[in-house]
Amino acid sequence: MRFIDTHCHLDFDELKESLPQHLTEAQAQGIGQWVVPGVTLEQCHTLPVFAQQHPGVHIAFGLHPYFMAQHSATDMSDLAALAHQHRAQLVAIGECGIDAIVEEIDAQQHLFIEHIALANALGLPLIVHHRKSHHLLANAFKQCPPQYGGVIHAFSGSLQDAQSYLKLGFKLGVGGTISYPRAAKTRTTLAQVPLDALVLETDAPSMPLAGYQGQPNVPKRMVEVFAHLCDIRKEPAQQLAHALYSSSAALFRI
Ligand SMILES: [Zn+2]
């Protein structure tokens, strides 16, 4: 079985130091491709070289809502220029979205809509961050409908939430969250959606699985996310793995 990790911050400090080891360990589990999202303008500048240095790494550009305080007024137009310049290397726009725990909701909404417009202009899917913000994302999608779909990263929510994203052409990113007892509602949702709605992700070094709390998450754990998903779904593991791989490859055209 082979896998694509559709969301992994391989360039973050927690993973950087032992990155060759992390990648070797992941490859031993059949994980051979990674999508590394952008989070700040400064970090996006470093991603094209990072991808060249690490075969199997694909990149996206975005300004993460979590770092709102760090983004300056001109960052989005600079990001757009950088994205046009590196269009050939990009597989998506993101990580972008709306985080209701972070302040400046109006500014986040505005910034997110600019990311959608950029993705539409470049013909790319979106990598969307959400936290307590399904209604705010829906509002942004109404104002600027995304044309190339994307991933709702670390999806958690009801079947109704899921269906509204699927209608817009999104996949649901399935990560370590499903390993926790408190994720019962999300597990029920993930059991009910069509198989081609799902893609796998670790969000490493964030989102450690149950049993690994307090440690940085690492890329090889994606096979454990997959094992949890196998418990939830009724398809045989082989069929599930194949579907996850082809959905991810098709979405990002990799
Ligand atoms: Zn992320």
Q: What is the pLDDT along the chain (254 residues), one digit of tens a residue?
A: 999 999 999 999 999 989 999 999 999 999 999 999 999 999 999 999 999 999 999 999 999 999 999 999 999 999 999 999 999 999 999 999 999 999 999 999 999 999 999 999 999 999 999 999 999 999 999 999 999 999 999 999 999 999 999 999 999 999 999 999 999 999 999 999 999 999 999 999 999 999 999 999 999 999 999 999 999 999 999 999 999 999 999 999 99
What's the 37 CA to ligand 1 centre distance in angstroms? 7
Write out the residues surrounding ion ligand 1, Cβ under 5 A.
95
Ligand 1 centroid distance, CA of 251 (Å):
18
Q: Kindly give the distance from the C-alpha atom of residue 5 to the centroid of ligand 1, in angstroms, as a whole number.
A: 12
| Cα of 26 from ligand 1 centre, angstroms | 18
Give the count of domains, the chain. 1
* Spatial separation of the C-alpha atoms in residues 115 and 135, rounded to whole Å: 18
The predicted pLDDT at position 199 comes to 98
Ligand 1 centroid to Cα of residue 110, in Å, is 20
Residue 125 sits in a domain of what CATH number? 3.20.20.140
What is the Å distance from ligand 1's center to 232 Cα?
24
Tell me the CA–centroid distance for residue 58 and ligand 1, in Å. Answer: 14
Alpha helices in 55-183 (DSSP H): 75-85, 105-122, 134-143, 159-167
Contacts of 248 (CB under 8 A, 6+ apart): 4, 6, 171, 199, 200, 254
Domain extent for 189: 3-252
With a CB cutoff of 8 Å and minimum separation 6, the contacts of 110 are none
pLDDT for residue 96? 98
Residues 6 or more apart whose CB falls under 8 angstroms from that of 233 comprise 190, 191, 195, 240
